[in-house]
Each structure stands twice: as structure tokens, then as C-alpha cells.
Amino acid sequence: QRYLIMPGQATAYKVGMIRIQELRRKAETELGDGFDIKGFHDTVLGGGALPLTLLEKRVDQWIAARKAQPAAATK
């Protein structure tokens, strides 16, 4: 029923889901074995409801911070 009233809502949810999946793949690729799913989730959810452009910046900052840590600290 709500999609009949607000048809764009489902599209917005799907666009967000796809973008978050893309950001996860990017983080997994760039960090390799240093990727931490809990850290990724904390980064994505910790900012609250953000525009996707700001979420991408937040994830990019998290990736850079993880890369800057010594290998032993990322496990």
C-alpha cells in the first residue's frame, strides 16, 4: 500500500542498498585481508542517515585510516 502512495520510496531504498554494496566491495578490494565487516558496519551506521555522497566520503576516510594502521592493528 505505501508503495502505491509513495512509489519513489522503494526506488530510494534500492538505490541506497546498491550504493552500500558498492562501497563494501570497494572497501574489501582496497583493504584485502585488513577488511573488517564490523568496522565497515560501524562506519556506515555510525553517521546516521546521511546523503550517499557523505556516506561515500565517510567510508573513504575509514578505508584510508585502516590502510594507515600497522598490519597487526587491523586484525
- Sole residue written with cell 560501524: 42
Q: Give yes or no for residue 1 having a pLDDT over 90.
A: no
Tens digit of pLDDT for each residue in 14-53?
999 999 999 999 999 999 999 999 999 999 999 999 999 9
Residue 3's pLDDT is what?
Answer: 78
Q: Give yes or no for residue 58 having a pLDDT over 90.
A: yes
Domain ranges of the chain: 2-74
Q: How confident is the model at residue 72 (pLDDT cuts 50, 70, 90)?
A: low
Do 47 and 54 meet the contact criterion of CB atoms below 8 Å apart? yes
pTM tops 0.75, yes or no: yes
Do 40 and 27 meet the contact criterion of CB atoms below 8 Å apart? yes
